[in-house]
Structure 1
Amino acid sequence: MKPVQAIAYLRTSSAANVGGDSDQRQRAAVDSYASRAGFEVVKEFYDAAVSGADPIDQRDGFTSLLAWATETNVTTIIVENASRFARDLIVQEVGYASLKAQGFTLIAADDPDAFTADTPTARMVRQILGAVSEFEKANLVAKLKGARDRKSAAAGKRIEGRKGYDDTNPDVVREAKRLARKNPKTGKTRSLREIAAELARLGHVTRAGKPFSASQVSRLLAY
């Protein structure tokens, strides 16, 4: 069976560790796991002297990784351990959720279930993040309603916001979420682009008649 292509991500938090053996140790751990688990590491990205508390979208190495992965459609990322990805638990959960929504699989070489384990701490963090997300969404809805109310008063007639696909086409939302589920046999998930292609094959396209983009699929999954 052909190995699954993967990306290695390395990080050192201290400038004092740059040039030491930290990156060599991480690389060896990732390569060892990859060879055992049937992966082929085809690219490596390294954030040197970057804190594990920094959000992933503020790291030059990781943003370069995501750009390269998007172009090549390599969606598996392997790190030495969970703390190499992020030491801060909130950053870790937010980063993992963001990657998952984009169709990426994140694996820790020392514990492949580290990011998917259903521990009490992880559940608490996810619940807190969910509550914050719900508050932000409700706050945005209130702001948009206030803006529509002001426009309606000025225009002398009711102006409504554009309805989303969850209102206009709930079938496409339902189908996108079905396609995003993990395959029960292989344990793999489709990338956002793969979901978009399958939606188009099934006849689900945008209002303009074009296939959904990866970012649009991500929004469909967020409904």
Structure 2
Amino acid sequence: MFFLLKQSEHIAEVYAAMTGEKRNRTTRNSTKTHAVGYLRTSSAANVGTEKDSDKRQRAAIQRYCKAVGFLIDDADWYYDEAVSGADPLGTRPGWSALMARITSNGVRTVIIEDASRFARELMVQEQGILELRQAGVTVLTAGGDDLTASNDPGRTMIRQIMGSFSEYEKARLVAKLRGARDRKIAETGRCGGRRKLSELNPDALKLARKLRRANPLNGKRMSFRDIALKLAAAGHVAASGKPLSPSVVKRLLGQ
């Protein structure tokens, strides 16, 4: 009996400690201001939780929240994947869902990594900020800047300068990529896209051309089907292991 009483006392102490800790966590969370997080990635190549862009943005926002006392629930993260910073906010699926969430739950603070995640073009940025300010929504960066502040001329100037710089960087990068693409086309005649079959298998092309030459005695040419069989005998087959189709041989020869 004494052992059972001791066990009961121990269980009661553990339960009290656990529920007390739970109450403490609830109390701590209730003192924090709820917010929503917004992430945006321009390139589809950088989309995904394992990619650096997602991790970097989320980590920066979480550090800021921890430092100043904001709380973002798991369901309150919104992500526009492969969406250009030049796109108007109203056309972004993630941002539209974020605004609907804010309207429904009363949260009035949006936190982003920096102004470029919000918009990369100054006009888009300023139009969006005006709309949010009128709706009573505050947009904060992980660096502590209030993008919707209207009573600080210095912040307004810095925000506009940063917006202009982001717009310039985007234009510079586009021009750089266009120049590289033009040089590639000038050198090789093409840039990007799928490689031609003749480029993938130059040996097959060489043999096919030889087989396709007209017979000097009668002027006849070997059929594409017969060429495919000859190519297969030489080890040039389709991915399935079967001979190339006549249409593929024709395309290989550029006919």
TM-score, normalised via structure 2 length: 0.46
Aligned to 2:85: 52
Residue identity matched to 2:131:
S
Residue identity matched to 2:60:
A
Helix, strand or coil for the counterpart of 2:101? helix
Q: By percentage of residues, which structure has more helix?
A: 2
**Aligned partner (choices 119, 128, 131) of residue 157 of structure 2:** 119
Aligned to 2:12: none
Aligned to 1:183: none
State the structure with more CA Rg. 2
Query: Within 2, Cα distance between the matches of 1:40 and 1:62?
Result: 19
Count of equivalent residues: 124
Q: 1:121 to 1:111 in 2, by over 3 A?
A: closer
State the Cα distance separating 1:73 from its structure 2 match: 0.6
Aligned to 2:43: 14
Aligned to 1:175: none
Aligned to 1:163: none
Structure 2: unaligned runs, 5 residues or longer: 1-27, 150-154, 164-255
| 8 Å contact kept, 1:47–1:62 | yes
Identity of paired residues, percent? 46
Residue identity matched to 1:7:
V
Q: Does 1:85 align with 2:118?
A: yes
Structure 1: unaligned runs, 5 residues or longer: 126-223
Aligned to 1:174: none
Aligned to 1:97: 130
Query: Within 2, Cα distance between the matches of 1:48 and 1:78?
Result: 17
Q: Does 1:106 align with 2:135?
A: no
Residue identity matched to 2:93:
D
State the Cα distance separating 1:110 from its structure 2 match: 2.0
| 8 Å contact kept, 2:37–2:61 | yes
After TM superposition, which residue ranges in structure 1, 4 or more long, deviate above 6 angstroms?
A: none
* Correspondence 1:140-151 to 2 at 5 A: none
Residue identity matched to 2:79:
Y
| 8 Å contact kept, 1:81–1:111 | no
Q: 1:64 to 1:121 in 2, by over 3 A?
A: closer
* Correspondence 1:181-220 to 2 at 5 A: none
**Aligned partner (choices 1, 23, 31) of residue 62 of structure 2:** 31
Cα deviation code 1:85-119 (max 9, x no counterpart): 11111111110110110010100112424553131
| 8 Å contact kept, 2:138–2:148 | no
| 8 Å contact kept, 1:81–1:108 | yes
TM-score, normalised via structure 1 length: 0.52
State the Cα distance separating 1:53 from its structure 2 match: 0.4
State the Cα distance separating 1:121 from its structure 2 match: 7.7
RMSD: 2.0
Aligned to 2:108: 75
Q: Which moved more, 1:45-54 or 1:106-115?
A: 106-115
State the Cα distance separating 1:11 from its structure 2 match: 0.3
